[in-house]
Structure formats: C-alpha cells, structure tokens
Amino acid sequence: MSAISATRILSSGKPYLLYGTAWKEGETARLVNEAIKSGFRFIDTACQPKHYNEPGVGEGIVSAMKELGLSRSDLFIQTKFTSLNGQDPNRVPYDKDASVEDQVYQSIEESLKNLRTEYIDSFVLHSPMRNHEETMRVWRVLEEKVDNGVIRQLGISNCYDIHHFEKIHDDARIKPAVLQNRFYSDSGFDVDLRKYCADNAIRYQSFWTLTSSTTRRNLQKLEVKQMAEDKGLTPQTLMYVYMMELGHTPLSGTTNREHMLSDVAVMERIQAGETILSEEELDQMSHLLEIES
C-alpha cells in the first residue's frame, strides 16, 4: 500500500500522518525524498528559513516523484505564511517593509517557486497576527488565492485560545480546514479546541506529539509498553495510532528511515480498515497519557 496516493487517502476519510520538515536544514531534500519513498504522501513545511529549508523540500519532492513515477496529485503539500516577528531578520523571504497583504502575496509566490508547484494543497497561517484585524487582513489574501485556485484549503497554527480561534472561524468567508498546534500539557492538550474542531469539520494536526516532556515520560510506562507490544507496535507508533483513531493528524518528523517505514506501516493498517484500539483501549490510553481525549 506504499503507493497509495494522497487523493485516495483523503477520499477514504480515514486518518493519516504528515511528514514534518522543520529543523532539517541541509538534510531536508534527502529526508523528504526518503520519506516519500517510505510511503509518506503528506508533507508539511513553511516559508520560514529560520526553521525550514523550503527549497530543499521542493527538491526532495521533485526527485522522489521522478524516481517513483508519481504525479502531483499523489502528494499533498502544506506550507505556511510566517509573520515578520517569526522570521530570522537576516533571511526574511519577503519585503519586510511591505504591507502585510503584499508580504503574504510574496510569501505565496516564494513557496510556489521553492516547492516547484503550481498550487498548494493547504496553506496555513503560522500563528495569529498581532491582533484580530491584522489576522483577518492576512486571511482575506489567502481567501482570494483559494478563489483563484492557487491554494486548495486554509488553516492556522499555534492558536491556543479557543475564543480567538472561534472568532477567526466566525469571521472567515472560507473557514479554516486545519488547526495545527503543539500537543502538550501546557495547553491542556487542547481538549476544548479539539472538540471544536471535531464539531466543525476541522482537521486537528498535532506536532510535538511524541516529544513533550509529559508524553515522553508516560510512553515509558509499563502498561503503555505492554499495550504497544500486544499490538505489534512501539510506544511511539502506538501514540500515533491513538491520535489517528481520535480523528487527528499527527506530524512525524523522524530522520530515521526505519522509523519512517514503521510510521507509514501503522498508517497503512488504519487505511486498510483495521481498528487497532478499541474504545476501551482509547480511554485507557488517555488515562495513561494523562490526556483527556
């Protein structure tokens, strides 16, 4: 099933994993190539040279597509607009003195060039702007690009205030399809936000899924290790199963080829229709991980 396309995965409505490309620097192209050849079909990046090598993502995508004979529709590419305060002042990918609208236009064009594509499947505002008015100024530009077919869907990241997120949702003409947040105890694991997403057909994407201190500690519990072993999984892939079977989309940023293959294998089990965790086991995992599902 490693040749399954993003289009088919999306049409199935079943959960999947995103490959995250942050902090990979000069290894980005090689790792993205390996991830796609391992079976990842959803790639997450950002036009933010401070933490992402977006041109490297594009290089890895193109080389893997050529090697595997993939078409553009086999892959799902997500990138982001990062505001000036989230950029390295020495490597801003747009005119820092331009209006925020022009900064967004320029960022989109830079991403299209970097990723060597004519459209972007999912475009995410990397975090809310300084105030709601400015956030919506950015959103209007993104809506225009959806109207023009350059972007297929919109989302927002690093938004932990449910009232702020609700206001963006209420005021948006084109509603956010994605919320991507850190998954950690500091935000209470976004219990209310995740419920809001479920109620409004918004896909919740998690990063730091394995790496928050609470989760790392809890994945070492004997009960978690035993459950993972019983399912033919590691505690880490069990965590991904837990998230996917709650209807969420975890990011995997692994740089290890064996881990890439393991991550894809568990996603393929779910895509094939297997229910790996029962409702009782999901509740048990929530308790063991100190997470309210």
More confident residue, 101 or 292: 101
Q: For 219-238, how does the pLDDT look when each residue is reduced to its tens digit (9 = 90+)? A: 999 999 999 999 999 999 99
pTM passes above 0.75: yes
pLDDT tens digits, one per residue of 164-205? 999 999 999 999 999 999 999 999 999 999 999 999 999 999
Domains identified in the chain and CATH numbers: 6-213+238-277 (3.20.20.100)
Mean pLDDT of the chain: 97
Distances (CA, A) of 150 to 105, 120, 143, 154: 11, 6, 10, 11
Q: Which pLDDT tens digit goes with each residue over 100-145?
A: 999 999 999 999 999 999 999 999 999 999 999 999 999 999 999 9
Return the pLDDT at 292.
73
Contacts (Cβ under 8 Å, ≥6 apart) of 199: none
- In terms of Cα–Cα distance, which of 177, 115, 117, 194 is closest to 142? 177
Q: Does 293 have pLDDT greater than 60? A: no
At residue 1, does pLDDT exceed 70?
Answer: no
Q: Which residues pair with residue 78 across a beta bridge?
A: 44, 122
**What φ, ψ does residue 81 adopt, rounded to 5°?**
-95, 125
In the three-class reduction of DSSP (H, G, I as helix; E, B as strand; rest coil), residue 127 is classed as coil
Report the C-alpha gap between 178 and 122 in whole angstroms.
Answer: 8
Say if residues 62 and 37 touch (Cβ distance below 8 Å). no
Helix, strand or coil, per DSSP, at residue 120: strand
> Binning pLDDT at 50, 70 and 90, where does residue 3 land?
low
Residue 81's pLDDT is what?
98
Q: Give the pLDDT band of residue 2 (cuts 50, 70, 90).
A: very low
Q: Which two tokens stand for residue 130?
A: 């300084």
| 45-50 mean pLDDT | 98
Contact 252, 149 (CB under 8 A): no
